[in-house]
Amino acid sequence: MGLYPLTMENLLRVGLALCTILKIDRGIEKPTLCVDELNFLTMSISVGFMAGGGDVFLDGEGDVRLVSSVESGRAYLEFKELNEDDTRKIEAIIFSRYNIPRKEGEEIGKLWTRGKAP
């Protein structure tokens, strides 16, 4: 998605926008995100994704996979299974002035650390 400041709020909005795109464009009722490790960056995105109603899996299967890496002191995040149109739509949501709808209570997604939901 280009250069984007990796603050907690911005990353939360990325996760929320990603979940929204998966629900609207792909028609996935309960989207899933797979993260390769739990750290500040992946958890910030995961919190936003769960706030959108999606579930997050550590090293499991998901509709989208998030891979984090550090090279030369710089952190990088890469989303697998997203195309260029998805990326543009997420950026449009992130940079808009409108609130992204969030779930409440039991509708909020969960974090699964053992691969798959029971």
Q: Report domain extents, the chain.
A: 8-97
- Helix/strand/coil for 113: coil
Q: Is the pLDDT of residue 99 over 60?
A: yes
Q: Is the pLDDT of residue 27 over 70?
A: yes
CATH assignment of 8-97, given 1.10.287.130, 2.60.40.10, 3.30.70.141, 3.40.120.10? 3.40.120.10
Which residue from 75, 13, 72, 23 is spatially nearest to 46, judged by alpha carbons? 13
| Tens-digit pLDDT profile for residues 48-84 | 999 999 999 998 889 999 999 989 988 888 999 898 9
pLDDT at residue 4 in the model: 63
Q: How confident is the model at residue 115 (pLDDT cuts 50, 70, 90)?
A: low
Q: Is the pLDDT of residue 2 over 60?
A: no
Q: Are strands 64-71 and 32-35 parallel, antiparallel or unpaired?
A: parallel
pLDDT at residue 117 in the model: 59
Q: Is the pLDDT of residue 3 over 70?
A: no
92: enclosing H helix or E strand? helix 84-95
| Tens-digit pLDDT profile for residues 75-98 | 888 999 898 998 888 888 888 766
pLDDT at residue 94 in the model: 81
